[in-house]
Amino acid sequence: MRSLLNFLLRIHFLLLFILLEIFSFSLLVNKNNFHKAKVVNFSRQFAGNFYTKTAKLKQYLSLTEENQRLTEENNRLLNIIESTYKSDEIFFRSVNDTILNQRYRYTSARIINNSINKKYNFLTLSKGSEQGIAPEMAVVSEGDIVGVVKGVSNNYSTVISLLNLDLKISSKIKKNGYYGSLSWNGKGYKSAILSEIPLHADIQVGDTVMTSGFSSIFPEGILIGYISNFKEKGGSFYEIKVNLSTDFKSLDNVSVVGNLIQNEKLELEKETEKND
């Protein structure tokens, strides 16, 4: 307490000067309409700028939650579309059950771990079996391909990234329907190689490559990327370099796609192979 009093005694002239300045400024503003208007306008402008910057800061800090909300809303709409879509494939069904018209189910998940610099890259998602995730489900991000669910625990799941030497995707060229196998060559995270496209196929740089729908995992038409260059390989086929549409360095929220009739397709194919 004594130290505080000594300090105030040392600066009492400064404190008195500041008080007099404040008093003089107050008199000037209150007695002069011009100065008063200037102070009011300055205060409003200062407060407006402060609130604007505060709002922008809050908006920036909430981007993660907003992205998660938008992903979940997008998946909800996709599920509605799937559940109300009627396909020619079920034309002969006699049971009128809307769930039979739904082939794919979408659920959102957040990436909590991701690698891009290895030969066998994986991602980890924030959801597992308790949230409906199962192995062999497709993983996409804003309509672009990401990978395939490999392992699942109660609340987490691992995904084989497209940037993994073990993953091959049945793909096709959008404009003409020629299909082949797409795989990563281990060279950078921006491109992959599409093979088994015959030489008589009409292809050009910039052509769109997407999933073929032949597998039981990925729906048809998921965007993979665009042809950047191609060359003849083996005398009968092209080797096509595809620039990936997915930026694996900036992934955050994804959608996990479950095929509701996947088991039926796989069992039928196994039975057919067994009989051959």
Q: What is the pLDDT of residue 121?
A: 96
Q: Among all chains, which residue has been given the structure tokens 């959608």?
A: 255
Q: How far is CA 81 from CA 10, 84, 227, in A?
A: 77, 5, 30
* Interatomic CA distance for residues 72 and 65, integer angstroms: 11
Q: Per residue of the chain (276 residues), what is the pLDDT tens digit? A: 667 667 667 776 777 778 777 767 676 656 666 555 565 555 545 555 564 566 566 556 656 666 766 776 676 666 666 555 444 333 333 333 344 445 788 888 999 999 999 999 999 999 999 988 999 999 999 889 999 999 999 999 999 999 999 999 999 999 999 999 999 999 899 999 999 999 999 999 999 999 998 888 898 899 999 999 999 988 899 999 999 999 999 898 899 998 876 666 556 656 677 666
Cα of first residue to Cα of last residue in the chain, in angstroms, is 98
Q: What is the pLDDT of residue 240?
A: 97
* Interatomic CA distance for residues 53 and 63, integer angstroms: 15
**Cβ-based neighbour number of residue 174 at 10 Å:** 15
Question: Model pTM?
Answer: 0.64
| 182, 192 Cβ separation under 8 angstroms | yes
Structure-token pair, residue 236: 């009968």
Q: What is the pLDDT of residue 267?
A: 66
Q: What is the pLDDT of residue 100?
A: 44
Assigned CATH topology for domain 89-276: Thrombin, subunit H (2.40.10)
In the chain, domain spans: 15-60, 89-276
Structure-token pair, residue 191: 């491109």
Task: Show the DSSP H helices in 193-239 as ranges.
Answer: none
